[in-house]
Amino acid sequence: MEKGFVDKEIDPSLDLFAEIEQLKKEKNAIILAHYYQEPDIQDVADYIGDSLGLAQQAEQTNADLIVFAGVHFMAETAKILNPSKKVLLPDLNAGCSLADSAPAGPFRAFKEKHPDHLVVSYINCTAEIKALSDIICTSGNAIKIIESIPKEQPILFAPDKNLGAYLNKISGREMLLWNGACMVHEIFSLEKITKLKIRHPQAKLIAHPECEEAILRMADYIGSTTQLLKYTKTDHATEYIVATETGILHQMQQDNPQKTFIPAPPNNNCACNDCPHMKLNTLEKLYLCMKYEAPEITMDETLRLAAKKPMDRMLAISRAAGLLG
């Protein structure tokens, strides 16, 4: 959807917050938003969470319309888990560099070369990759998922090599890693973070496990977006350098108004720790997508059923481990 279309379509005098609330009621819609969405979208959402929480909400909701304020693989996940609902994504171009780093054809060939390996895929992948996987994990449950697999079972982990290397380190396993990465989490500058720490000696570095090993080695705490947010609420420090996408700072600041949150600096002068895919969604596009019930996520039923199996395994292990709310 082009910006020009948005400008033409929306009466500028409209209160979009009120209009969206109205549309929610009229259409029995739920807005699920990832923490990386812009603050206005987080503020109108019914639920804000990490990939695990969002998947669970999508599976359980009674709403007729799931409006997914996130990226394509997340909306696809909602459709996989709750196919009778209409799932909308405000901008269909909201992709993911990590999901793009594992195309189905080469991945299938890689898997075929390692037939004895169990395939564990991070949820940041397409439905086709999910369908080729045995179990899915998220950053919030990855450790539990890996620990649930017998030690002697070889594992192929995809698509994030950074999360995979981190899991290898803490589990003591030697999973075979697909060579994929997230463009946002690979951009942080070790040198600039080190300098920032000198200027803010009390600040703790908190990082998402999609970051490179050198950043993770320096971190005081590593976790999914939900885990990072929980940590800032219970920990006693008053200053944090946050090595993940900047959208999470909105909730951190709201939950801890007396604390200071500094986005970890990227290795150049751009705003590269804003995810360009996540930020394609805007309040205007959210409003239009609810009004016209488009763009909609649709999926071939054979693909959906194949992608659902490893998702169901993930949810069952997470439930047994007490990781679901």
Cα 299 to chain centroid, rounded: 20
Type of residue numbered 67: V
**What are 242's strand-pairing partners?**
206, 263
- Residues near ligand 13P (CB under 6 A) are 50-51, 124, 138-140, 182, 210, 224-225
Residue 215 backbone dihedrals phi, psi, to 5 degrees: -70, -45
* Residue 88 Cβ vs ligand 13P, minimum distance, rounded to whole Å: 18
CB-nearer residue toward ligand SF4: 24 or 281: 281
Nearest approach in angstroms of CB 252 to ligand SF4 is: 16
DSSP 8-state secondary structure symbol assigned to residue 180: B
Alpha carbon distance 320, 225 (integer Å)? 21
Q: Which stretch binds ligand SF4 (CB under 6 A): 162-170, 181-189, 283-291, 300-308?
A: 181-189
Using the rule CB under 6 A, is 98 a contact of ligand SF4?
Answer: yes
Q: Which is nearer to ligand SF4, 119 or 182 (CB)?
A: 182
CB of 73 to ligand SF4, least distance (A): 8
Q: Which of 111, 157, 161, 110 is nearest to 136 (CA)?
A: 157
Binding partner selected for residue 140 from ligand SF4, ligand 13P, none, CB under the kind-specific 5 to 8 Å limit: ligand 13P
Q: How far is CA 80 from CA 45, 84, 121, 126, 322, in A?
A: 21, 10, 15, 11, 23
Picked from ligand 13P, ligand SF4, none, the partner binding residue 138 (CB below 5 to 8 A depending on kind) is: ligand 13P
Please tell me whether residue 124 binds ligand SF4 under the rule CB under 6 A.
yes
Question: Which segment (23-31, 83-91, 93-101, 224-232) binds ligand SF4 by CB under 6 A?
Answer: 93-101
Which is nearer to ligand SF4, 31 or 63 (by Cβ)?
31
- Check if the beta carbon of residue 117 is closer than 8 Å to that of residue 157: no
Q: Look up tokens 């290397």; give the residue.
A: 165
The residues pairing with 260 across neighbouring beta strands, listed in sequence order, are: 239
Maximum C-alpha span of the chain: 63
DSSP state of 271: -
Which residue of 38, 50, 91, 245 would you call a contact of ligand SF4, by CB under 6 A? Answer: 245
C-beta of 85 vs 185, nearer to ligand SF4: 185
Residue 123 touches ligand SF4, criterion: CB under 6 A: no
Element (DSSP H or E) covering residue 68:
strand 65-69
Contacting residues toward ligand SF4, per CB under 6 A: 36, 71, 96-98, 124, 182-184, 245, 275, 277-278
